[in-house]
Structure 1
Amino acid sequence: MSQQPAEILAKEKMGGAQMLAIAICVLLNGLDGFDVLSISFASPGISSEWGIDRAALGIVLSMELIGMSIGSIILGQVADKIGRRPIVLASLGVMATGMYLASTAPNVQVLSGYRLFTGLGIGGMLACTNALVAEFSNDKYRSMNVTIMAAGYPIGAIIGGAIASELLKSYDWRAVFIFGSIMTAAMFPIVYFGLPESVSSLVARKPANALAKVNAILKRLGHQAIESLPDMSEAKASGGGLKRLFGKPLAMITILLTAAYFAHIMTFYYILKWIPKLVVDMGFHPSEAGNVLVWANIGGATGSILLGIVSRKADVRILTMIGLALSFVFVSVFGLGQSGIMGLAIISAIAGFCTNSGVVGLYALIANYFPADVRAGGTGLVIGIGRGGAALGPVIAGLLFSSGQGLLTVSVVMGLGSLFALVALFMLGRSTKVAAS
């Protein structure tokens, strides 16, 4: 009897085509990183031109995160039914269109609507890329590859942010969105020609001519063909989709990972969304504020890569818990403020290192704990509900600032999300882990 597709990909050496697929997913996550944070780079100019206060700005900063929440939940479920690749391509179209439309917005209400629309595409993309990297990786490198994919997010923000800072020296905030739209559209042919459908998704869905499609992709990836597809009747009998995610044995995993992600992402987006505005309010130029945010993402990328390397030898759950504890500490330290731009950049980089290591660790855990037949849906659900926390973070911080609370108080309160996530992962334990497939 021939090996089954999941076993082939899990046990055999990764070929060049698999590495290329993962590299494309890293680029897509980098695109997500810039698209999400484009509003942060643009926010000082938006606030100045339209005269909006911090509470209103907090709502604008959260609109694409609300869209991401909806997109992750809905499109993640759809991806498990029709495939990862079609959703990735559709998400690119939505993102490119939404970014361009944002550059044409005449007021804050219209801009908020366009950012909500853009977020739908970003959410669908996030649900699929995490699943695709897990499914194109072998067992040896799965956790490391997922964390490297997650590192694409801050790297995209670094590169895009550096360009945005230069654009802001010569143009207004609209140039940031135009640049993002062009870069998003440029990824469409790369994905179309370079990213195959997930073999695990095909096996789980069994569309027409599934065996031929699976063998064609296995050949493209450098592996041998199979004689027949595995029986997925047990997974289908459990109902699939949300019913499977909230049935045994996945219910507690789904609940705890969602709670952890929701709580920590509030802390994560407090830092990323408010840094430019806070730095400008301290008296620095918007381009300098953009550079501080770039340093936060440099720290985030470093944390992602380091966690990925160490995860080959250590338990990624324990590493993530350590990152979450340090996240609370250094977000609170950020609240102490700094007298100069260099001090702000350094503490932002350290806070970014800690908060992002927690995020990428959670991505790796999501990929490891959910089986292939519900991996995109499970990822989309966790990220989707979690993005509610992402949307709440900037809003809550804005309301706290508007009520007269100082930077230290707001930072400590917002840092508590990381501690809550740490408790959820402690409750998750190792014994509930479901083998990745």
Structure 2
Amino acid sequence: MNESRPRALNETLDRIGFTGRQKAIVALCALIAMAEGFDTLAIGYLIPSMAKEWAISPGQFGVAVTAGSIGMIVGLVSLGPVADRLGRRIVIIVCTSTFALFTGLIVFVQSVEALSALRFLAGLGLGAALANVIALAVELVPTRSKAKVATLVGSGAVAGGVVCGLVAQVMLPAFGWTSIFVVGAVIPLLLAVVAMWMLPESVEYLLAKGKQAEAQRFLLQIDPRDSGAPLAAVGEVTKGASKAPVAALFTDGHGPGTILLWAASFSAYVLTFFLFTWVPTLLGQAGLSPATSANAMSLTLLATIAGGLAMAAVADRRSGDYRVMIIGFPLACVFIYLTSATLDYPALVLISLIAVGFFGIGTQNALSPVAAAMYPSHARSTGVSWMQGMGRVGSLISPILGGLLLSQGISEVTMFRLAIVPTLVAAIAISLLVTRLWVTQRKAASQPRSGSSDSNTVVPADPTPGA
């Protein structure tokens, strides 16, 4: 028997729980994120082999690496709003197919110029695919699982980088560098085909477009016992659907939160790319063996996944309270300093770097659910995409700045201690951001609820304006 008033979507998903169908969708989103991470980091593993075959300096590949990053930034800031207009599903499928196609074409190139062009084109799909699988996954699961799911899917990109390294170790000696790009093309292409078959559209997006029948059909797929009663349109979607998605990041009180989110993402990426670009070099200059350096970076990479998932789990357990993230970057500052002070002791350096990964970059990994919680559905992909785009700007600056400092003869100890600066900026921005979000959520929770469309506000995914 149908309910007498429209149902709130978040309450309906919370009642249904986390079903096998939803878990399969989240798994597919995570696999697409892994494919994105694989393709993004592949070139880093392959530059030495490509340089040797082409008889050029590895340094000449810098333009190709930069072109890929610029392509990702362009894709993030341009295709995020497209997804909020046309839907998550189509953008995910097109973007995944795009980076698969242009990654596969790399096997035919013979020059850095052609490689750079293809990396730029692949980058257009790489960044936007990741942002949209995060946004879609968050919108299809119960409130208590949103932070974990967003962090899990986002961490898939990191896991993809780890898998790429393992695959490269096996396939590179036997089949050459082109084999890695073949894998990087075939896997996402297959995932795009699977996505066409099993990936649904965001229910919030469907409700915003008035597609009640499609929204209810998905609910019946995850719960055959669902009543089939009408769903209330998401309040903020209905209110703001006429606004341009990028403008929505600065209206209805979202502006200060957006600036803080961008500052946190930018600073966090500066730290991340400092660690993974220059730390192996710095450890080598400090006298540590290449094996020790490689182990340190691999374990740090895994620690970032664990740290992000741990913080997301705490946030979910506390009903979307992300204030646990306040501790992450301050602790990372402490451990960065300890790293600089223990360079003569490999075991202590290893422990310190793992802690930096867990608390610092782990907190960065947990920024995606914060971004998803801040914005209404009609701007969610835009919000996540622009946050990651600002971070990618930091990823461009960090390697260049680190190289300039090294060329000036800055010591290893000083380089590590300089890394505390962006870490402190991230700490301040995140502290203000999650505190602001928490206050907004508490205000939303204290307001009377009714059967109107405003009752569909999701906490933490759709707090009232002002996050």
Is the CA contact (8 Å cut-off) linking 1:338 and 1:344 kept in structure 2? yes
Is the CA contact (8 Å cut-off) linking 1:42 and 1:173 kept in structure 2? yes
Is the CA contact (8 Å cut-off) linking 2:147 and 2:313 kept in structure 1? no
Partner residue, 1:306:
310
Please list the CA deviations of residues 231-277 of structure 1 after superposition, one character each: whole Å capped at 9, or x if unmatched. Answer: 6542235x241222111221111111111111111111222344566
Q: Percent identity?
A: 24
Q: Name which of structure 1's ranges 182-191 and 267-276 shifts more when overlaid on structure 2.
A: 267-276
Change (3 A) 1:88 1:342: farther
Larger radius of gyration: 2
**Amino acid of the residue matched to residue 370 of structure 2?**
L
1:399 aligns with one of 379, 385, 404: 404
**Amino acid of the residue matched to residue 125 of structure 1?**
A
Partner residue, 1:225:
228
Change (3 A) 1:63 1:293: farther
Change (3 A) 1:283 1:249: closer
Partner residue, 2:449:
none
Q: 1:196 Cα deviation (Å)?
A: 0.8
SS in 1 for 2:110: coil
Is the CA contact (8 Å cut-off) linking 2:288 and 2:346 kept in structure 1? no
Question: Which ranges in structure 1 are unaligned for 5 or more consecutive residues?
Answer: none
Partner residue, 2:70:
66
Q: 1:338 Cα deviation (Å)?
A: 5.7
Partner residue, 2:12:
8
Matches within 5 A, 1:7-406: 7-46=11-50, 49-53=55-59, 59-206=63-210, 210-222=211-223, 223-227=226-230, 230=233, 232-236=237-241, 239-274=243-278, 293-314=297-318, 317-333=322-338, 348-406=353-411
**Amino acid of the residue matched to residue 396 of structure 1?**
L
Q: Name which of structure 1's ranges 402-411 and 242-251 shifts more when overlaid on structure 2.
A: 402-411
Q: 1:165 Cα deviation (Å)?
A: 2.2
Greater relative contact order: 1 or 2 (C-alpha under 8 angstroms, separation 6 or more)?
Answer: 1
* Counterpart Cα distance in 1 of 2:105 and 2:355: 34
Is the CA contact (8 Å cut-off) linking 2:337 and 2:420 kept in structure 1? yes
Please list the CA deviations of residues 276-315 of structure 1 after superposition, one character each: whole Å capped at 9, or x if unmatched. Answer: 6667887977x99766543332222222232233333357
Q: 1:317 Cα deviation (Å)?
A: 3.2
- 1:431 paired with 2:439, answer yes
When normalised by structure 2's length, the TM-score is 0.82
Is the CA contact (8 Å cut-off) linking 1:5 and 1:226 kept in structure 2? no
* Counterpart Cα distance in 1 of 2:275 and 2:174: 26
Is the CA contact (8 Å cut-off) linking 1:263 and 1:418 kept in structure 2? yes
* Counterpart Cα distance in 1 of 2:277 and 2:169: 15
Q: Name which of structure 1's ranges 276-285 and 173-182 shifts more when overlaid on structure 2.
A: 276-285
* Counterpart Cα distance in 2 of 1:220 and 1:139: 19
Is the CA contact (8 Å cut-off) linking 1:93 and 1:185 kept in structure 2? yes
* Counterpart Cα distance in 2 of 1:218 and 1:422: 40
Is the CA contact (8 Å cut-off) linking 1:211 and 1:229 kept in structure 2? no
Q: Please tell me the root mean square deviation across aligned C-alpha atoms, in Å.
A: 3.0
Q: 1:376 Cα deviation (Å)?
A: 0.8
Q: 1:378 Cα deviation (Å)?
A: 1.2
Q: 1:164 Cα deviation (Å)?
A: 1.6
SS in 2 for 1:141: helix
Q: 1:345 Cα deviation (Å)?
A: 6.2
* Counterpart Cα distance in 1 of 2:156 and 2:29: 8
Is the CA contact (8 Å cut-off) linking 1:61 and 1:394 kept in structure 2? no
* Counterpart Cα distance in 2 of 1:133 and 1:124: 14
Q: Name which of structure 1's ranges 372-381 and 309-318 shifts more when overlaid on structure 2.
A: 309-318
Is the CA contact (8 Å cut-off) linking 1:263 and 1:420 kept in structure 2? yes
* Counterpart Cα distance in 1 of 2:94 and 2:20: 26
* Counterpart Cα distance in 2 of 1:13 and 1:273: 42
Please list the CA deviations of residues 149-187 of structure 1 after superposition, one character each: whole Å capped at 9, or x if unmatched. Answer: 223222222222212222334454443323222222231
**Amino acid of the residue matched to residue 264 of structure 1?**
A
Is the CA contact (8 Å cut-off) linking 2:139 and 2:203 kept in structure 1? yes
Q: 1:79 Cα deviation (Å)?
A: 0.3
* Counterpart Cα distance in 2 of 1:194 and 1:280: 47
Q: 1:316 Cα deviation (Å)?
A: 5.2
* Counterpart Cα distance in 2 of 1:226 and 1:322: 43
Partner residue, 1:409:
414
Please list the CA deviations of residues 383-436 of structure 1 after superposition, one character each: whole Å capped at 9, or x if unmatched. Answer: 122211122222222232233333333333344222111111222223245742
Please list the CA deviations of residues 342-379 of structure 1 after superposition, one character each: whole Å capped at 9, or x if unmatched. Answer: 88766554433233312122112111111212111111
When normalised by structure 1's length, the TM-score is 0.87
Please list the CA deviations of residues 45-75 of structure 1 after superposition, one character each: whole Å capped at 9, or x if unmatched. Answer: 456652144xx65554343222221111111
**Amino acid of the residue matched to residue 215 of structure 1?**
Q
Q: 1:88 Cα deviation (Å)?
A: 0.6
Is the CA contact (8 Å cut-off) linking 1:43 and 1:276 kept in structure 2? no
Q: 1:320 Cα deviation (Å)?
A: 2.0
SS in 2 for 1:93: helix
**Amino acid of the residue matched to residue 51 of structure 1?**
S
* Counterpart Cα distance in 1 of 2:349 and 2:39: 24
Change (3 A) 1:61 1:327: farther
